[in-house]
Structure 1
């Protein structure tokens, strides 16, 4: 009797191709990683840039959604144009025009959050190896976007008033960058605001040397002190070379994922093509609900109510910092926005200190990830809008303990 032959072994599987090099070389968001670690309810979290949820106009937003779903469900639940719903773009154009920047609906492209606007601009403007200039420090997710685009990212030296125009001019001449990315009003992460004269100087550099300016303005309506500073996009020197980004995330609700970009026609069309490839269009129902909200509610009055609460919370944090931070620490006093910036004595490394601080059930974001160049490891970002003044006081007490105050 012969035995059956042994089954042939399955051939070894070949490994699948690796992920793209640009993804492997671009790190994840430390802010998102910290939020995952600090999700426990007992943690007082100064790390996230989260609007206070109790201040959302829940009924107003819900009523807007009910209206569009009851009155125009076929339109609300259908595909829409890539550029965005005309009613929403018209209302946004009117808001920008009223604030000193004449704008038509056709000047705008609605995006799925202003974060998508950044991605579209990178797709439309940046080829691998192109140079992009950023602030120092810089909004972290912008560094991710430009990194994924394969850009060479250089920081423009600056000071408490923002990027230095002379340093910018030197870099433009030497490096021939595609664009400068800036958050000139209540910047993330520092909370600083670029004054009017500095904005004019930056616009003049862009005009003289040939440069796009990407002006990101998610926080500008959250002003607590002082007068509004005109956008860089409103300067005659920069009108044909500035892209202005805006968002409903900080003034209505981030869950709507509604933003927009205002750009010259050729670049705006290129961004529309990139958006067609990304998601076809921003959700129709969200756009129509936002348009309905703007049409029947006073968004400016809502923002003033929110700003009054945020001002109180900013002041509570400023009042508590002297007792919470080590001697020799310095920090700024932002006129608006959501963040303030702290520099501890040079002996501190805020990345290394974070684990000890989190054990006290409080969290911040270390400053190092916000730098395109050599980081200042003694820095950190604090968000002051999410907690009540009482919670801020307790959080600062815990922070001081974690830092060995």
Structure 2
């Protein structure tokens, strides 16, 4: 009851509305948690010095707005309002507005814009011209529905030492399409799947569209919590596990070798498959991380491997590939063909030449040099200026930091809204959970579209807004 002693009534607003708003604020800040029983009508009316009707009206308002529910004969209980749909729309609208602004003035910590392209455009022009001169009109034709044959051969040779069966490789239009194809190919309505908690919002959208049952397992510094993972496996028939093995989005964590091996063992024991989304493993900044994806360790054909080239080729050119377990080869090929028939032949040929000629290695080195500098600078600012405000797990690579507020007085959706007013954009943690009752105290910042100048500018504004919101909320 000590919370309610801080409520000071104002004359101009009806008391029942003030009581309801006060309780809503406590629920939003998680001082009152999901399922907590609210005080009885009689005890709260006595505590606040109001009549019973005021409390009844306040509780009815909370119930009508989704902040409370009633158990007959037991009382009224707090409910975390799930605002996922409305907020996702608000977030999407905000990002669309970025494109209408002068991007030189915007600090995009979401990484969603493409105002900066770190790719040698002259190389792209040269590669495309060379493809057109070499192949002529054939450059625009597709002779293999699974992808350009030479590209498939080059991927196998350069990245897999020719260890894959090339019939299992399918060229896709980026990782998002790969997830969609895998989902359509192996998941049916009401299948059970496990995802990391939190996880990539694009994958959540795909799985929800397939109407599957989602089980979330908390993620730790080296991968998911295996005890909780296996308990779910013991109680439920799981069809697949979706994972990002390197620089997981949003947390930035990478899986330890031990956890990869154990998860593969569990896949065989409990008969489920692994969708491995490998989208940033080229961007490893510290030698303590070794590149060993699940697929390299997959001796039982349990892994559907998805690789995107968007970050190392061109963001606007969606290209990647999927490696199908032989059992699912045909169904995943059909899923791809039903999705878009074929992927741009010209871009596939350009990508094949880019990889085969070795130019990709030069650009990867350039990207690593550039992003290491940004990563180091952002990490320095976090450690020096934000150490009393936030905590984070050092990703040691990738393009993001996932930050958690030490004081959870602030809802990061509110932080997002306030930062927009100053042309700084972040991604609130609630975007990465199946229910937005989670992630209120966390957010992701990316250095993908921010140079050192913008990092310094954006982090300064971020700290100012965080401190302002903390001060305001402490006064409430």
Scaled by the length of structure 2, the TM-score of the pair is: 0.75
Cα pair distance change 1:75/1:308, threshold 3 Å: same
Larger C-alpha radius of gyration, 1 or 2?
2
Q: Please, which of 281, 286, 292 is the counterpart of residue 230 of structure 1?
A: 292
**Aligned counterparts, 1:89-238, within 5 A:** 89-98=152-161, 102-226=163-287, 227-236=289-298
In the alignment, the residues of structure 1 paired with residue 310 and residue 236 of structure 2 have an alpha-carbon distance, to the nearest angstrom, of 34
Q: Please, which of 347, 360, 367 is the counterpart of residue 306 of structure 1?
A: 367
Matched, 1:384 2:447: yes
Query: Larger RCO: Structure 1 or Structure 2 (Cα < 8 Å, ≥ 6 residues apart)?
Result: 1
In the alignment, the residues of structure 2 paired with residue 163 and residue 96 of structure 1 have an alpha-carbon distance, to the nearest angstrom, of 27
Matched, 1:362 2:424: yes
In the alignment, the residues of structure 2 paired with residue 187 and residue 59 of structure 1 have an alpha-carbon distance, to the nearest angstrom, of 32
Matched, 1:347 2:430: no
In the alignment, the residues of structure 1 paired with residue 168 and residue 455 of structure 2 have an alpha-carbon distance, to the nearest angstrom, of 41
In the alignment, the residues of structure 2 paired with residue 162 and residue 91 of structure 1 have an alpha-carbon distance, to the nearest angstrom, of 31
* Structure 2 spans left out of the alignment, 5+ residues: 1-84, 469-476
Provide runs of 4+ in structure 1 moved above 3 Å. Answer: 25-34, 49-54, 322-326
- Is the 8 Å Cα contact of residues 250 and 432 (structure 2) preserved in structure 1? yes
TM-superposed deviation, 1:28: 5.7
- Is the 8 Å Cα contact of residues 369 and 375 (structure 1) preserved in structure 2? no
In the alignment, the residues of structure 2 paired with residue 96 and residue 166 of structure 1 have an alpha-carbon distance, to the nearest angstrom, of 33
In the alignment, the residues of structure 2 paired with residue 314 and residue 253 of structure 1 have an alpha-carbon distance, to the nearest angstrom, of 21
Q: Secondary structure at the match of 1:72?
A: helix
Q: Which residue of 1 aligns with 2:30?
A: none
In the alignment, the residues of structure 2 paired with residue 161 and residue 233 of structure 1 have an alpha-carbon distance, to the nearest angstrom, of 18
Cα pair distance change 1:26/1:37, threshold 3 Å: closer
- Is the 8 Å Cα contact of residues 191 and 334 (structure 1) preserved in structure 2? yes
Q: Which residue of 2 aligns with 1:77?
A: 140
In the alignment, the residues of structure 1 paired with residue 86 and residue 390 of structure 2 have an alpha-carbon distance, to the nearest angstrom, of 31
Cα pair distance change 1:27/1:393, threshold 3 Å: closer
Q: How many residue pairs were aligned?
A: 379
- Is the 8 Å Cα contact of residues 124 and 274 (structure 1) preserved in structure 2? yes
